Structure 1
Amino acid sequence: MTLFLQRVFDSFANGSAYAALAVAISMVFRSTGVLNLAQGQLAMLSAYLAVVFAAGADPSVAFSGWLAPFATPWPIWAAVAGAVVISAILGALLEYTVIRPMAGDPVPTIGATLGLYLLVGVFVVKHFGGRTRFLGSPFPQEHSDRLLIADARLWFDSIGLTLTMLGALGILALLQRTTKIGLAFRAITSNRDSAALVGVRVERVVMGGWAVAAALGALAGGLIAGEINVRPNMMERLLVFGLAAATLGGLRSPSLALAGGYLFALAETLMSGYVGFIDSQVTLVWALGVLIVVLSLRPSGLLSRKSTRKTLQT
């Protein structure tokens, strides 16, 4: 029982990151029909930006000259928040300059996101040297910062990361349900042409969706960096699990994407804990297998058409 509970606790941090990426992917796909393959790389870039902010004027960190007016390094939470803001602006700019000119044609648009994936990776390696950086966590990480529940250890940083991500996703869901902007977003995901006919500024709403998706990815990248450190390939594995989780709802259900993120993380930790020959690479293959099977047998996701229409309306 203790081992099982420990594995459940261990899945919280990764599950939060998987869920955030899955919801971000789902948001972009719902509003534009585009599968954003660059979502993970943008989150990785934001983690490097957080490292720069946290380093202050340290000359050993690339681009630290940006922060010359700020001689004192930023607290980690402020560094992550700054990276989130910049990532939201970057996401909006990418939608305006790269995605919008494609006029909704899915093939070149997906190709463009793949190009962004490669470009961001090259940019980071060129300017940061591909070295692993340490950011740390905004939450307590000392050996004593934990709770013991039935002899299983629940770390404070895992609690903080999970609650932060759930809080951010909860606020996003609330805004979509209770604000005019949220109503406009739901309108274009239901019927883009009809939304435009009733006066919704579709392009502006889509740009906002890309900004929010980039901000969610940045938050996930900045917080999970305290668990896995910052390196050029840090989000590749997380992106695969995020994509697999998003496919559970046919890339259109944020609620199933959220649940899928935590389910995949739990399955990953249980498999690696109870099956001796299964390591991290094997669980990655398993996630890819689930992704292929769902897309092959049920491309619309686990929801029925009726349930999907209901989800889009809520």
Structure 2
Amino acid sequence: MGTFIQLVVDGLATGSVYGAIALAIVLVNQSTGMINFAQGGMAVLSAYFAYTLLGLGLPLILAILGSVVVSFVLGALIERFLMRRFEGGDPDTAVVVTIGLLTLITGVAGWIWSYNNLQFPSLFPSASFSVLGAAVSWRSLGTFLVIAAIMVGLQLLFQKTKVGLALRAVADNPKSSAYSGLPVGRLLMIGWGLAAALGAVAGALVAPKLSLTPGMLDGPLTYALAAVILGGLTSPIGVVVAAWLIGVLENLAAVYVPFIGNDLKIAVPFVLLFVVLLVRPQGLFGRKTVVRV
């Protein structure tokens, strides 16, 4: 039982990493209707901003808050001067642009800060406490709670606030939103800015666990995209639950399914994804899209 609980706890902690990136992807999609493949790179760049502010002598919490502000502005500027040229056009073109943006950000980060592993301090202590025979670190628990709080906050934002409803309206139909008097351009900038700010939080949570490098989130981004598809693009709660499910099942399969082990556990989320898409293409928590013709 102790081993099982340990695997579940570790899986939830790992899944929280995937969930943080997945939430930022959902935020961009809910506010602009696009999929941002550069989200992982933007989160890494935000972590480097925080690392630089730490080097200037700021306390950790202020450095992270500073990176959140800088990232919000950067995300808004990227939407205004780059992505807006492709919004409303061919979705495939916008996807290619975000992939190119990811490559550019990774290269710029490596050029400025080098490709060496850098140590980033954690917001939470590395000590552990015991729960039913399992060792739970305060860092894992803190990451889990922060992601859970952000998940609930985003759900409330999109469902209960005027700004969230306006962001969803703009993503669904920009022309009708403009005719209704909504400031479409400003809302698109806010959506990208909020996603970049969320990426800054994700980068600060992940960097102490993985060590800070330009490609730090390349692997987690793949799992995050799987969580987005599995949970549904329209549900912040869904993608986080899916990310936790991926982390836990991956750990359990590696230990309790002999032919999988550590070498093949990477295939577990994608097998799960294949099965779910056959049964429920919109994802576990996503909404069906009805198109009138």
Cα deviation 1:152-206 (Å, max 9, x = unaligned): 1111111111112222232233333343212212333444433322211122112
Where 2:123 maps in the other structure, the secondary structure is coil
* Residues 232 and 287, structure 2, Cα contact 8 Å, conserved in 1: no
Where 1:248 maps in the other structure, the secondary structure is helix
Distance 1:159 1:93 in 2: 34
* Residues 73 and 193, structure 2, Cα contact 8 Å, conserved in 1: yes
Question: How far did 1:303 drift?
Answer: 5.2
1:121 match: 106
2:149 match: 167
* Residues 50 and 64, structure 2, Cα contact 8 Å, conserved in 1: yes
Distance 1:219 1:90 in 2: 15
- Determine which of 82, 92, 95 is the counterpart of 1:98: 82
2:23 match: 23
* Residues 170 and 177, structure 2, Cα contact 8 Å, conserved in 1: yes
Cα deviation 1:123-169 (Å, max 9, x = unaligned): 1111122000001201111xxx2221111111111111111222223
* Residues 31 and 167, structure 2, Cα contact 8 Å, conserved in 1: yes
Cα deviation 1:65-108 (Å, max 9, x = unaligned): xxxxxxxx222222222222211111111111111011322122
Give the percent of matched residue pairs that are identical in Structure 1 and Structure 2: 38
Distance 1:281 1:80 in 2: 35
The 1:77/1:14 distance shift into structure 2, 3 A limit, reads farther
* Residues 240 and 284, structure 1, Cα contact 8 Å, conserved in 2: no
Taking structure 2 as the reference length, the TM-score comes to 0.89
2:93 match: 108
Taking structure 1 as the reference length, the TM-score comes to 0.83
Question: How far did 1:252 drift?
Answer: 2.5
Bigger shift: 194-203 or 106-115?
194-203
* Residues 177 and 183, structure 1, Cα contact 8 Å, conserved in 2: yes
* Residues 19 and 258, structure 1, Cα contact 8 Å, conserved in 2: yes
* Residues 17 and 221, structure 1, Cα contact 8 Å, conserved in 2: no
1:273 match: 255
Distance 2:51 2:232 in 1: 35
The 1:74/1:275 distance shift into structure 2, 3 A limit, reads farther
Where 1:11 maps in the other structure, the secondary structure is helix
The 1:137/1:303 distance shift into structure 2, 3 A limit, reads closer
Distance 1:273 1:82 in 2: 41
* Residues 31 and 209, structure 1, Cα contact 8 Å, conserved in 2: yes
1:82 match: 66
Distance 2:267 2:128 in 1: 32
2:178 match: 196
The 1:304/1:118 distance shift into structure 2, 3 A limit, reads closer
Question: How far did 1:290 drift?
Answer: 4.8
Where 1:34 maps in the other structure, the secondary structure is coil
The 1:86/1:289 distance shift into structure 2, 3 A limit, reads farther
Matched, 1:229 2:214: no
Where in structure 2 are there 5+ consecutive unaligned residues?
none
Distance 1:239 1:280 in 2: 19
Bigger shift: 194-203 or 94-103?
194-203
